Structures are given as C-alpha cells and as structure tokens.
Amino acid sequence: MVPPLGLIPGLLALRAGVEYDDHHMRPALKRTTRRRKEATHERIVEAAARAIRRSGYGGTGVVDIMKDAGLTHGGFYAHFASREAMLAEAADRAGAEGVAAAARLAAAAPPQKALQALLRGYLSKAHVEAVETGCGVAALCSETPRQPPEVRRAATRRLKEMIDLVARQSPGWGQPRTHEQALVTVATMVGALVLARAVDDPRLSDALREAALQHLTPTGD
C-alpha cells in the first residue's frame, strides 16, 4: 500500500533519523562491548595470577579460574588462544604485582633507607603468609623451568625488573659492581622467602628470614 503523498516526507525524515542514530550508535556500542571484554579479561588474569601463586602452574585449571572470576568456562577461548597463553599473562601479572609492591615499600622510605625498607617488607612474616598475593618469583620459581617458553619469558622479564629495582635503591647505584650486588641481594631474599615458606617449623622460618635480613643489612639500619 502506497502511503499518502503528504506522509512521504515525514516517513523519509523518520527513516533518515533512524539511519543517522544507527550510524552514530554503532561505534558507541562497539566501544562498550570492547570495554566489557577488556574488563572481563582483566578479571580472568587477576584470578589466574592469584591461583598460580596459591596452587602452582600445574594446580591451576581453566574451570577453577573462570569460576573464581565469576564466569563460565565456556567463554575462556574468547580471551585466550590456549591455557599456556593464560598462564603467561598470569605469570606476568604476578611478577608485576611483586615488583610494584617492592617499589611501594622503597618509595615510602627516605632514599637512604629505601633498600632496607624494601628488604624488611619482603622478608616480613606477613609476606611469608601472603602466598596468593605475594612475590610471584618466590611462589613459582621451582616450577618455572618446566613451563612453556612464553611463561618463562614473562617470569624472566619481571625478575629482571626486580633486580633493577633493587640495584636502583643501592647506595652505590651507578658504580661498578652494583648490578652484581643486586643479583646477590635478590637471590638471597627470594631464596630465604622460599625456604621460610617451605618449612613447617615456625621458629626455623623466622630464623631464616631474620638471618637473611641481617646478612643483607649488616649495619642494622
């Protein structure tokens, strides 16, 4: 049925308005969808970063991580090509959080006390107990050699950042051998944390932490 001639201009204007609105709404809808997907991806990575520190790489399953993130496992492959890809992002996130926490400890202290503050916080009893949210290097180092290359690359990158952070807090920053000293410091503090978490004797755990701290800060500052 052909509409009366008098209605045609109005119908054309209405159609033009709908097309105009659709043209302008599509980008906004795409942005909203993209932001929602990014937020969901972030939740999955956060859940995975906690899970690998708590249960290790081998004890971290896709179903459990998606459940922790409040999602169904069916949507996993919309965000990751494989479980290994997720583990690589989780390792990167866990390492980044550890470096950021250490950096906050250093930044909260006067410059001449920054390294001591970092070490005291890292070797604290609270950090021993905070496996799920603590240093990813200490939580995962024994398993990392057996992981796929992308996971090892992520872990290595964050370990290098921790070494650099420690070097920059050192009194001799910029002088020869500062980097080598930072390597020894990081190896000692990570090793002490791993052992303090491993033993089932609280007194031995405390002794390991305190001995490492005394060795790394012999002046007692």
CATH number at residue 199: 1.10.357.10
d(CA 105, CA 122): 9
**The pTM is what?**
0.80
| In-domain check, residue 78 | yes
Structural domains in the chain (count) = 1
Nearest to residue 102, comparing CAs of 203, 19, 185, 173?
185
Residue 161 maps to a domain: yes
**Separation CA 208–CA 185 (nearest Å):** 15
Mean pLDDT, the chain, as a whole number?
A: 87
End-to-end CA distance of the chain: 92
**10 Å Cβ neighbour count for 138?**
23
Domain assignment present for residue 41? The answer is yes
- The answer as to whether 177 is a domain residue is yes
pLDDT tens-digit profile of 58-106? Answer: 888 888 888 888 877 777 888 899 999 999 999 999 999 999 999 999 9
In angstroms, the CA 209 to CA 212 distance is 5
Evaluate the CA torsion angle 103, 106, 109, 111 in order and state its sign: negative
What does the DSSP 8-state code read for residue 217? S
Parent domain of 178: 5-216
* pLDDT per residue as tens digits for the range 175-189: 889 999 999 999 999
d(CA 78, CA 71): 12
Query: Is 221 inside a domain boundary?
Result: no
